[in-house]
Structure 1
Amino acid sequence: MNVTATVAFMLALLIMASSTTSTVSAQAAVTCPGALLQLLPCLPFLTKQVTTPPAQCCSNVKLMNDEANTAAIRQQLCKCFKPAAISYHVDPAVAKALPGLCRVSVPVPIDPKIDCNTIS
């Protein structure tokens, strides 16, 4: 991804995230824009531009998984990620494989059809 595309992507994420729930949890201070930016290194993998997730992607996936330590945070992240995944044409099968490739056990199934309100 070139610099112009990266900048455009980041701006689009910020605009889109500002129209969704912005604060995931006051306690955790996890925000939708922050979470999307944290996953930016994963985008080339999630859109099948590269075949393996970059090391920074996996580090950020682990960090985000550690921060998503309550049902409320996980639900809000789910609500944040679903529209972003659709907008940026994330391949659902690749997204589902990401935690395993990064050796991170996530408590929530990665499925575009999941009802975010049912996540515990």
Structure 2
Amino acid sequence: MFNKMKGCAVIAFGLMILVLNATARPSNDVPCKDPVFALMPCELFFVGYGPTTPNPDCCQSAQDVLKQADTTEKRRVLCDCFKHIAKAFDYRSDRAKQFPQLCKIDAWVPIDTDVDCNS
């Protein structure tokens, strides 16, 4: 049963990437598809089909994504990207809120449909 759910999550995640590729605009060298691909090790954590804590590869990938967002404008673009992902994908908002603490990330860009990316 778990493998079937995992397979459905992977298919849904793949469809979301196709949607993002078709709709996301690159801006300031942070196209939406790059952080999405980088955070693929986090997929099962965010959708709730995996363990209740992100795996080390997931946390490292998140750190790497954050390093690429090294200016305020790039962080805004990343925030918009994550907001778009949150609207397009069935994720667990409770896990997204816990994510920075679980991965020990101080300045994480929120994954939230209601976040104001301009503040």
Instruction: Give the root-mean-square deviation of aligned CA atoms.
Output: 2.1
More strand by share: 1
TM-score by length of 1: 0.79
Q: 1:24 aligns with which of 17, 22, 27?
A: 27
Counterpart of 1:82 in structure 2 is 83
1:38 and 1:87 mapped to 2: Cα distance? 17
How many residue pairs were aligned? 113
Q: Specify the SS of the correspondent of 1:24.
A: coil
Q: Specify the SS of the correspondent of 2:115.
A: coil
Deviations 1:68-119 (A, max 9, x none): 111111111111111211222112221011111111111545543111122x
TM-score by length of 2: 0.80
1:109 and 1:20 mapped to 2: Cα distance? 18
Answer yes or no: is the 8 Å Cα contact 2:9–2:47 preserved in 1. no
Stretches of structure 2 that go unaligned for 5 or more consecutive residues are: 1-5
Stretches of structure 1 that go unaligned for 5 or more consecutive residues are: none
Identity %: 33
2:58 and 2:21 mapped to 1: Cα distance? 19
